C-alpha cells in the first residue's frame, strides 16, 4: 500500500466518529466536502496536541481558523453558514486551548469566547454547551470560581434534559474544579460523585459524540479528583485517586500528564514529603521545558512559591537552578 493512501485512510479512521456525528444530510456535495475536510483537519490538530508543542501548532491552527471564518462569511445560505460556524467554533476552541498551554491567558479567553459565540451562531446546543464548559474549565483553573460556576450552569441549560452521558459526566468534573477553586470541599465531592455516576453509564464501545474526540472514563473522573484534591490542599484525595487515574496518567498526552504530576507533587509537599515533591516537580518541569509549555512552567513556579524555608534542601536548590534558567 502506498504511504499516502495509508495515511489518508488512517486519518479518516481516526476522525470517522467525529464526522459521522455531524449532520451533513441536507448539504450539497460541495458543502459536504468543504465542511468535512475542515473538520478532518481540526480533528488531526487536536490529536497532535498531546505530543506537539503548542507554539508549533498555534500558527497553522490560527490560519485554519481564518479559512473557516472566511468560508462561513462567504456562505450564501443560513444552513451552510451554521455548519461552517460550527467548524469555526471547534477551531477557535482549540486555539484557546493552545493559548492556555502557552501561558497566554488573554488570548485564551479571547478564543474561547469566540468559540462560544460561533457555537451559538451554529445553533448547535451540544457544541455551545461544550464550548461554555471549556471556558468554565479554563476559568476554574485560573481561580475564577464564580465565573466558572456561572458558565457551568449556562452549559447545563444548553444541554437540557436529553443530554449525552459523556456531556453530563464531563461537565460535572468541570463543576467540581470550579467548586474546588472556591474552596468548597463538600460541593466538590458531590460534583465528583455525580461525574463518576455519569461515567459508569457511558458505553465503552460507543464512540464519543462530536465535539468530543476522546472517550471519557472513570479514570478521568479520578484524575479530576486528583486535581481538585491538590487545589483544596487535601493530599489524601490525591493519593487515593492515583491508582484509578493511572490510565490517564500513563496516556500519550504528555503535557496534560505533567499537569497531573504537579498536582501529585503538591500533595507530597502538603504531606511534608519534600524530596518526593520536588523530584516529581522536576520531572514535570522537564516536560514543560521540552514542549515550551507556559502553563506547566508557571504551575511549577507556583509549587515552588508554596514552599518557604530559609535553608532549602539540595533537591529544592537543584529545582531552583533549573527553574531560574527557563525563559519561554
232 grid coordinates:
483544596
Confidence of residue 76 (pLDDT cuts 50, 70, 90): confident
- pLDDT for the residue 203: 75
**Residue written as grid cell 527557563:** 326
- Residue 50 is given by DSSP the state G
Range of the domain at 28: 1-123
Report if residue 172 sits inside a domain.
no
Report if residue 316 sits inside a domain.
no
Assess whether pLDDT exceeds 90 at residue 18.
Answer: no
Q: How much is the average pLDDT of 80-100?
A: 96
Give dist(CA 22, CA 24) in Å, integer: 6
**Tens of pLDDT along 165-176?**
999 999 999 999
Q: How much is the average pLDDT of 299-313?
A: 96
Report if residue 302 sits inside a domain.
no
- pLDDT for the residue 259: 97
101 and 295 Cβ atoms separated by less than 8 Å:
yes
Assess whether pLDDT exceeds 60 at residue 41.
Answer: yes
Report if residue 178 sits inside a domain.
no
Q: How much is the average pLDDT of 117-134?
A: 96
**Would the pTM count as exceeding 0.75?**
yes
Question: In total, how many domains does the chain have?
Answer: 1
- Residue 160 is given by DSSP the state -
Give dist(CA 129, CA 151) in Å, integer: 9
Report if residue 5 sits inside a domain.
yes
pLDDT averaged over the chain? 89
Q: How much is the average pLDDT of 28-55?
A: 84
Compute and round to an integer the Cα radius of gyration of the chain. 20
Among the ranges 14-28, 120-134, 204-218, which has the highest mean pLDDT value? 120-134
- pLDDT for the residue 316: 97
Confidence of residue 293 (pLDDT cuts 50, 70, 90): very high
Give dist(CA 220, CA 87) in Å, integer: 26
**Tens of pLDDT along 248-267?**
888 878 999 999 999 999 99
Report if residue 23 sits inside a domain.
yes
Report if residue 81 sits inside a domain.
yes
Q: How far apart are the first and last CA of the chain?
A: 42
232 and 192 Cβ atoms separated by less than 8 Å:
no
> Considering only 6-15, 51-60, 248-257, 293-302, which range has the smallest mean pLDDT?
6-15
Which of residues 249 and 113 earns the better pLDDT score? Answer: 113
- Residue 56 is given by DSSP the state H
256 and 219 Cβ atoms separated by less than 8 Å:
no
- pLDDT for the residue 215: 84
Amino acid at each position: 500500500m502506498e504511504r499516502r493512501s495509508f495515511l489518508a485512510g488512517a486519518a479518516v479512521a481516526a476522525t470517522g466518529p467525529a464526522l459521522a456525528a455531524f449532520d451533513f444530510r441536507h448539504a450539497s456535495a460541495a458543502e459536504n466536502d468543504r465542511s468535512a475536510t475542515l473538520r478532518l483537519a481540526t480533528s488531526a490538530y487536536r490529536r497532535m496536541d498531546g505530543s506537539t508543542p503548542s507554539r508549533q501548532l498555534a500558527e497553522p491552527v490560527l490560519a485554519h481558523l481564518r479559512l473557516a471564518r472566511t468560508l462561513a462569511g462567504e456562505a450564501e445560505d443560513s444552513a451552510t453558514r451554521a455548519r461552517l460556524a460550527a467548524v469555526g467554533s471547534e477551531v477557535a476552541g482549540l486555539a484557546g486551548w493552545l493559548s492556555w498551554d502557552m501561558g497566554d491567558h488573554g488570548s485564551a479567553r479571547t478564543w474561547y469566547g469566540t468559540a462560544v459565540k460561533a457555537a451559538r451562531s451554529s445553533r448547535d446546543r451540544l457544541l455551545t454547551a461544550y464550548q461554555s464548559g471549556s471556558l468554565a474549565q479554563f476559568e476554574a483553573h485560573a481561580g475564577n470560581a464564580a465565573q466558572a460556576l456561572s458558565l457551568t450552569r449556562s452549559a447545563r441549560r444548553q444541554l437540557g434534559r436529553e443530554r449525552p452521558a459523556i456531556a453530563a459526566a464531563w461537565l460535572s468534573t468541570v463543576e467540581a474544579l470550579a467548586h474546588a477553586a472556591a474552596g468548597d470541599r463538600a460541593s466538590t465531592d458531590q460534583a465528583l460523585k455525580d461525574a463518576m455516576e455519569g461515567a459508569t453509564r457511558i458505553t465503552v464501545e460507543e464512540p464519543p459524540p462530536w465535539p468530543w474526540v476522546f472517550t471519557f472514563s472513570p479514570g478521568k473522573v479520578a484524575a479530576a479528583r486528583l486535581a481538585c484534591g491538590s487545589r483544596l490542599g487535601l493530599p489524601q484525595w490525591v493519593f487515593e485517586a492515583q491508582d484509578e487515574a493511572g490510565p490517564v496518567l500513563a496516556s500519550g498526552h504528555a503535557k496534560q500528564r505533567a499537569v497531573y504530576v504537579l498536582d501529585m507533587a503538591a500533595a507530597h509537599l502538603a504531606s511534608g514529603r519534600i524530596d518526593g515533591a520536588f523530584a516529581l516537580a522536576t520531572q514535570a518541569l522537564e516536560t514543560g521545558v521540552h514542549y515550551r509549555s507556559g502553563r506547566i512552567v508557571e504551575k511549577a513556579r507556583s509549587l515552588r512559591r508554596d514552599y518557604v524555608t530559609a535553608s532549602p534542601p539540595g533537591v529544592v536548590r537543584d529545582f531552583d537552578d533549573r527553574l531560574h534558567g527557563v525563559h519561554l
